[in-house]
Amino acid sequence: MSSLSRDEVARVAGLARIDLTDAELDRLAGELDVIVESIARVSEIATPEVPATSHPLPLSNVFRADEPVAGVDRDAVLAAAPAAEDGKFLVPQILGEEA
């Protein structure tokens, strides 16, 4: 497998509109080459007999059953609040806007 050249990295960076310094281009060319080589090695090992895996362990639904339940009593909640007005919580104004 051919390695990625500095010019190829500069071209891709240009397409992505990323301005890279010469030092960053050199560093990224080496790092991306390692990634490409790793993918090539995994591709050599992958065979049709080995199924693709998205998760190493089987997943199961951990959610409870969706059953409707009665909500809390609004009047009881508002009675416990420090201040309420017109069936809503009353809080201090913080943005300095007119009410």
Residue 21 has pLDDT above 70, yes or no: yes
User: Given 1.20.120, 1.10.287, 2.40.10, 1.10.20, which CATH number is that of 6-45?
Assistant: 1.10.20
Show the 3-state SS of the chain.
Answer: CCCCCHHHHHHHHHHCCCCCCHHHHHHHHHHHHHHHHHHHHHHHHCCCCCCCCCCCCCCCCCCCCCCCCCCCCHHHHHHHCCCEECCEECCCCCCCCCC
Residue 97 has pLDDT above 70, yes or no: no
Q: What band does 2 get if pLDDT is binned at 50, 70 and 90? A: low
pLDDT in tens, 52-71: 778 888 878 778 888 999 99
pLDDT score for 19:
94
